[in-house]
């Protein structure tokens, strides 16, 4: 008579034999879905918060969340029953869409909802996974989750200064009730069903983008490119004129880079409007968003080192104000196939001129900016056709892009140029002042 390790009869069939793997795979799948929905919805905060440093941080966290989702999916596909699609359970999506709130809601209250309700619940879900999985058998998942726990703890620490003193109790309770109805992201907690009087805000007031983005305390204008050195900080012809002093070009290109904040704002609008896009599309959009955030930081951090008071630099709003009137696939087409693809020639000239200064830091920043922008155009070629398909656009890509360029011109005449200068000429940064800052007489 052979020895046995259990008195319970083994379930018949493969499902019983693989039960331990299947359960962990189920949890990994839910974690993947939570991370990808966080990415898709937290990006709605980017253009609603005004503080540049907070915008940058949200873009960073969105990119890291995309990385979490990617690795969870890769690990999950090594196991059985994970699935081959990127779909999200309606119950999970509904909570995240609720967290987006109304367009006019206080963005700091909404940020508290994400970071003091939904993100802590994700951290607890990761910790639960570590408790219930076998540390040796499931070692690959365990090591991933341990890294993600550290990221979530860091995210909470990084966001805390921005939420100090924010009274979001009512909104946090609202989201907590929605999450409690699930019993936590993994269903690991006791489920507390919603009260019959609970009102889903998304059903009462569906989300729409605000007509303009926020830049907090910073002065505003319609655009920073122009032809009058007494009015505009970047004089277009000066960028490519060999007579322009390289020190002037360096300052102007840092203003240009800082103003890539407008790309952050309008690119961030695309995620929420593409719920059925492949995750890989959102993953690359998240990388694109984080890249543009870093580029804006190049200017934001370097300009003060060269004597520029950031409170004299007006922030341009035209691109957001125009593009938000257009559907997502048209926004993305203009960004990748027009603005970025069309900038290479000018930026190449700028890079060559800045090299005259033997400024290694400037050379490095501009080189990485160019490398990233080349990748972004590749993203456009890869994903624009799929984004077009999501919105039922059947024209050839080339025809669609040309038509979109013409539409943008029409919309620019309608929606552009509406933001007056916040600062008088004698107080705002202009090309004339850049000449003096650069030591050029």
| 297 and 197 within one domain | no
Of the three residues 204, 231, 253, the one that is the final residue of a domain is 204
Q: How confident is the model at residue 314 (pLDDT cuts 50, 70, 90)?
A: very high
| 175 and 125 within one domain | yes
| 176 and 280 within one domain | no
| 234 and 198 within one domain | no
Query: What kind and span of H or E run contains 221?
Result: strand 220-221
Q: Lowest mean pLDDT of 57-61, 102-106, 232-236, 417-421, name the range.
A: 102-106
62-66 average pLDDT score: 98
What range defines the domain where residue 107 resides?
19-204
Distance CA 132, CA 183 (A): 17
Q: How many CB atoms lie under 10 A from the CB of residue 223?
A: 18
pLDDT of residue 344: 86
Compute the residue count for the chain. Answer: 441
Residue 193 belongs to a domain with what CATH number? Answer: 1.20.1260.10
Q: Chain-wide mean pLDDT for the chain? A: 94
Residue 377: pLDDT over 90: yes
The two three-digit tokens of residue 60, written as one number: 């960073």
Q: Is the pTM of this model over 0.85?
A: yes
Q: How confident is the model at residue 80 (pLDDT cuts 50, 70, 90)?
A: confident
pLDDT tens readout for residues 99-112: 999 888 999 999 99
Q: Is residue 433 part of a domain?
A: yes
Distance CA 349, CA 178 (A): 54
| 323 and 288 within one domain | yes
| 335 and 310 within one domain | yes
The two three-digit tokens of residue 87, written as one number: 């779909």
> Does the CA dihedral 184-185-191-197 come out positive or negative?
positive
Residues 6+ apart with CB under 8 A from 384: 329, 332, 333, 336, 337, 397, 401
| 240 and 100 within one domain | no
Please tell me the total count of domains within the chain. 2
Quote the percentage of the chain above a pLDDT of 70: 96
Q: Is residue 4 part of a domain?
A: no
Distance CA 59, CA 39 (A): 9
Of the three residues 204, 234, 251, the one that is the final residue of a domain is 204
| 133 and 248 within one domain | no
Half-sphere exposure of 337 (CA within 13 A, CB side): 22
Residue 187: pLDDT over 70: yes
Distance CA 123, CA 341 (A): 40
| 83 and 126 within one domain | yes
Half-sphere exposure of 223 (CA within 13 A, CB side): 16
Q: Lowest mean pLDDT of 8-17, 82-91, 241-250, name the range.
A: 8-17
Residue 270: pLDDT over 90: yes
Contact (CB, 8 A) for 411 and 382: no
pLDDT of residue 15: 64
pLDDT of residue 7: 42
Q: Is residue 8 part of a domain?
A: no
| 109 and 64 within one domain | yes
Residue 8: pLDDT over 80: no
Residue 425: pLDDT over 80: yes
Of the three residues 204, 228, 262, the one that is the final residue of a domain is 204
| 422 and 346 within one domain | yes
Q: Is residue 211 part of a domain?
A: no
Distance CA 51, CA 48 (A): 9
| 248 and 184 within one domain | no
- Distance spanning both ends of the chain, measured CA to CA: 101
Q: Is residue 11 part of a domain?
A: no
Distance CA 363, CA 298 (A): 11
Q: Is residue 67 part of a domain?
A: yes
167-182 average pLDDT score: 97
Q: Is residue 6 part of a domain?
A: no
155-162 average pLDDT score: 98
419-441 average pLDDT score: 95
Q: Is residue 13 part of a domain?
A: no
Query: What kind and span of H or E run contains 235?
Result: strand 234-235
Distance CA 391, CA 414 (A): 24
């Amino acid at each position: 008579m052979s020895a046995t390790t259990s008195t319970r009869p083994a379930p018949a069939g493969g499902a019983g034999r693989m039960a331990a793997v299947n359960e962990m795979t189920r949890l990994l799948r839910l974690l993947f879905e939570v991370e990808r929905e966080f990415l898709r919805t937290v990006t709605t905060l980017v253009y609603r918060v005004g503080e540049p440093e907070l915008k940058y941080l949200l873009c960073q966290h969105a990119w890291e969340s995309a990385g979490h989702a990617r690795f969870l999916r890769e690990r999950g596909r090594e196991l059985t029953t994970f699935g081959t699609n990127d779909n999200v359970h309606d119950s999970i999506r509904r909570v995240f869409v609720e967290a987006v709130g109304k367009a006019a809601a206080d963005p700091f209250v909404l940020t508290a909802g994400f970071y003091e309700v939904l993100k802590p619940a994700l951290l607890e879900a990761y910790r639960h996974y570590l408790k219930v999985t076998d540390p040796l058998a499931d070692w690959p998942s365990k090591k991933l989750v341990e890294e993600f726990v550290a990221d979530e703890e860091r995210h909470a620490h990084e966001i805390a200064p921005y939420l100090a003193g924010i009274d979001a109790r009512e909104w946090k309770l609202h989201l907590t009730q929605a999450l409690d109805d699930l019993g936590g992201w993994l269903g690991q907690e006791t489920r507390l069903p919603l009260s019959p009087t609970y009102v889903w805000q998304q059903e009462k007031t569906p989300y729409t983008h605000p007509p303009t983005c926020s830049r907090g305390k910073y002065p505003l204008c319609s655009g920073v490119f122009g032809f009058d050195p007494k009015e505009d900080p970047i004089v277009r012809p000066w960028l490519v004129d060999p007579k322009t002093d390289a020190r002037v070009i360096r300052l102007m290109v840092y203003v240009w880079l800082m103003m890539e904040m407008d790309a952050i704002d309008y690119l961030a609008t695309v995620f929420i409007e593409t719920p059925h896009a492949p995750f890989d599309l959102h993953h690359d959009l998240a990388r694109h968003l984080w890249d543009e955030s870093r580029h804006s930081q190049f200017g934001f951090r370097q300009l003060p080192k060269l004597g520029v008071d950031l409170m004299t630099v007006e922030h341009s709003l035209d691109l957001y104000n125009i593009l938000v009137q257009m559907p997502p696939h048209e926004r993305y087409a203009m960004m990748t196939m027009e603005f970025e693809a069309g900038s290479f020639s000018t930026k190449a000239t700028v890079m060559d001129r800045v090299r005259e200064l033997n400024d290694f830091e400037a050379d490095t920043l501009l080189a990485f900016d160019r490398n990233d922008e080349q990748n972004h155009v590749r993203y456009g070629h890869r994903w624009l056709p799929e984004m077009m398909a999501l919105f039922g656009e059947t024209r050839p890509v080339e025809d669609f892009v040309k038509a979109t360029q013409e539409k943008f011109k029409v919309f620019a005449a309608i929606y552009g140029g509406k933001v007056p200068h916040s600062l008088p000429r004698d107080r705002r940064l202009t090309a004339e002042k850049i000449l003096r800052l650069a030591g050029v007489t």
